[in-house]
Structure formats: C-alpha cells, structure tokens
Structure 1
Amino acid sequence: MLPLLLASSSVYRRELLARLQLPFTCSSPDIDESPLAGESAIELVRRLAQAKAQALAASHPGHLIIGSDQVAVLDGKIIGKPHTFDKAREQLLAASGASVTFLTGLALLNSQSGHCQLDCIPFTVHMRTLDPARVEHYLRAEQPYDCAGSFKAEGLGVSLFQRTEGPDATSLVGLPLIRLVDMLLAEGIQIP
C-alpha cells in the first residue's frame, strides 16, 4: 500500500480521514486559492483540489495524495469563511430561510503513476428562518469564523438547519468520505 498523505492543514479534514482507520500523514500545500476569471464554483473546487495534491507530489513520491477544497454558494455567489463575527452574522442572516450549497472538490493523486481521480460532491443545507438574536447567540456559542457558511455542521450549527440533502454528509465538513473510499478502492486500498 502506498502511504497516504492528506494535503491539508484542516483539523476538520484530518478528523474525518481518521474515521477510515488508515495510517496517513498531513502536509499543507502552498497554493494560490484565488478564483480564475470566469471560473465557476465547481471548476474552482476541482482545480484547487487537484492543485493541492499536485503541489506535494514532488516532495512525496510514491504516495496517494488527497486534495480537497470547498466553497459555499448562496444565491449563485461564492461565500467564503467569514473570519469575523460581523461577517458571520451577515452571512447567516443572508442565508435565513434560504439554501446554501456546499461544493467539495476531491482529488486522489497517485504520485508514483501520476494518475489523478477528480470529482466534485455537492451538499445542500436548507436553513431555518433565523432572527438576529438567534444568530448572535449561535455565533457567540460556537465562533465558526473559520467555516464556510458561518456554521459548524458537526456542532451546534446543525440547529440552524431545516433539512439537508446530498449524497455524502461528510462532504459538508470538507472531505467526502464515501467518494474518497471509492477512489481508494480504485487504487487497491482496502478499508478496514
């Protein structure tokens, strides 16, 4: 089995990958994540997932390298990580009663053969109608300022949802494990 490398510094992705009970290491790729002119959200996450994996290929020969990237889309526009309370409040109030689609790009690069599997997994969150007091209470309780969409689905953020839809709930957190298992199996990796 080729060693497994997660091309990410994300604690959330590391925790998800650990669920598969496979040994892996992590390394943070250094890439420019700016969107290209005219690039759709799907094209962006697919390109960045692959770029993250490829950025580590030369320094990690003979590895299976996992790259992943995610954006949240509200009303056809990409919304990023809020980084501040005010921006998070603005994002959540804009999402009140609406649907936010998370697009997660996933790449599995075999740095030995150069073969790369690439996909984009969508997941939609239909938000409850939120009032400013509820939003502020949530933000003070969980402080999800490093999360696209301004909530942590694996925590109290789920209380803001009316319902969800998509093929893989782990894609919402940033690493679609169901699709990743398919990719790993195609590389001959057996999952315990």
Structure 2
Amino acid sequence: MPRLILASSSAYRRELLARLGLPFTAQAPDIDETPLPGEAPHATALRLARAKAAAIAHLRPGALVIGSDQVATLDGEQIGKPGDHARALAQLQRMRGRRVLFHTALCLWDGRHADGKAQVEDVQTAVTFRDLPDAELDAYLRIEQPYDCAGSAKNEGLGIAILERIDSVDPTALTGLPLIALCGMLRRAGVPFFGAAAVSPGQ
C-alpha cells in the first residue's frame, strides 16, 4: 500500500475519504486558486485539482496524492465562495428557482512514476434550487453560515432544505470528493480495498 495523501484542508473531504477505510494523511497545498482570464469553469476545476495534487506530490515523493476542486456555474459564469452574509444572500437570490452546474474535478497523482502519472476526471452535478423568499434565505444563512462554500449551500447540512433536486452520477461529488470516480482511479493504481487482497492495476 503506497502512502495516500489528501491534498486538502477540507474537513468534508477528509470525512468522505475516511469512508473508504484506507490509511491516509491530509496536507493543504499552497497554490493560487484564482481562475485564469477567459478560463472555462470545468477547465479551472481540472487545472486546480491537478495543481493541488502536484504541489503535495512534489513535497512527498513516491506517494499517491488526491487533489480535488469544485467550481459552481450559472449561465456559464463561475460562482465562487461568497465570503460574507451579503454576498451569500445575493448568490442565493440569483440562484433560486434556477439550475446550477457544479464541476467537481478529481486528480490522483501517482508519485511512484518518474513522470508523476496523473488520472483526472470532471464529475458534474446539476442542482436545482428552491424558489424561496428572501426571509427564508436570510434565516438559512444565519443558521448555517456557509460563507466558505461555493454556491452558499452545503448539501451535507441544512443546505439540503433549500435544494429541490440533485442530478449526478456520484452522490458524493457535490460534497467535494467524488468517491465513485476515486475508487476507480485507486483500483487502476493497484490500491487494495478489502483487507490484504491486492487489486491488480487495470481492474
């Protein structure tokens, strides 16, 4: 079993990865997450997921490093983390009754290869927000305070109450770490999931 490192400071991603029962450590990468001028939302997510994994892989040679990044979009425009109450309310007002697309990019960087072999994937989730009045949106924000969350709604918490529909091939993608896609990547990298039974690369 190679060393497995989650390139993230997110408690949500750590909780998700822990579900797999694999030993891992977490380390936050130091990278600039600013989108590039004219960069498409999915391209931003993929680039940052790869950059996060590469940054930690450079510090921890020989490890398997997981990088992930999420970008929310409405009408093709990126929706970032609000940072405060006023911006979060403005986001929710704009998104109510609308369908928002979340790109959750995943990268598994295999440091056992000299060239740092990487698997990357963009898992998309379409979220329809309920058409709620300002008073409810304001009350929700004051309870949950999701100001560090793109789209101002945490589906793993009270944010589920302001969502009407979630469409995705992976229910964990919206929370920030697509476990179905990750399991496939880890299997292809030969990581054993059940006891000492090794998984052959490519299975």
Alignment TM-score, normalising by the size of structure 2: 0.92
Asked if residue 119 in structure 1 is aligned to residue 108 in structure 2, the reply is: no
**Other structure's SS at 2:70 match:** strand
1:84 aligned partner:
84
AA aligned opposite 1:29? P
Asked if residue 31 in structure 1 is aligned to residue 25 in structure 2, the reply is: no
Deviations 1:97-141 (CA, angstroms, capped at 9, x unpaired): 001111011000011211100011100111110110110111111
Q: Distance in 1 between matches of 2:138 and 2:6?
A: 34
CA contact (8 A) 2:41 2:76 kept: no
AA aligned opposite 1:52? K
Q: CA RMSD in A?
A: 0.8
2:170 aligned partner:
168
Q: Distance in 1 between matches of 2:106 and 2:14?
A: 14
**Other structure's SS at 1:118 match:** strand
CA contact (8 A) 2:100 2:128 kept: yes
Q: Distance in 2 between matches of 1:86 and 1:191?
A: 45
2:60 aligned partner:
60
2:13 aligned partner:
13
CA contact (8 A) 2:96 2:129 kept: yes
AA aligned opposite 1:159? A
Give identity over the alignment, percent.
Answer: 52
Q: Distance in 1 between matches of 2:150 and 2:101?
A: 11
**Other structure's SS at 2:67 match:** strand
**Higher RCO structure, 1 or 2 (CA under 8 Å, sep 6+):** 1
Q: Distance in 2 between matches of 1:83 and 1:58?
A: 30
AA aligned opposite 1:172? L
From 139, 147, 150, the equivalent of 1:148 is: 150
Q: Distance in 2 between matches of 1:106 and 1:21?
A: 19
AA aligned opposite 1:134? E
1:190 aligned partner:
192
1:130 aligned partner:
132
Deviations 1:48-104 (CA, angstroms, capped at 9, x unpaired): 100111111121111100000101111211011111011110001100100111101
Alignment TM-score, normalising by the size of structure 1: 0.98
Q: Distance in 2 between matches of 1:37 and 1:115?
A: 27
Q: Distance in 2 between matches of 1:88 and 1:26?
A: 28
Q: Distance in 1 between matches of 2:154 and 2:164?
A: 15
Aligned length: 192
Q: Distance in 2 between matches of 1:176 and 1:131?
A: 32
Structure 2 residue runs of 5 or longer lacking an equivalent are 195-203
1:38 Cα deviation from its structure 2 partner: 2.0
2:2 aligned partner:
2
- Deviation beyond 6 Å, 4+ runs, structure 1: none
1:70 aligned partner:
70
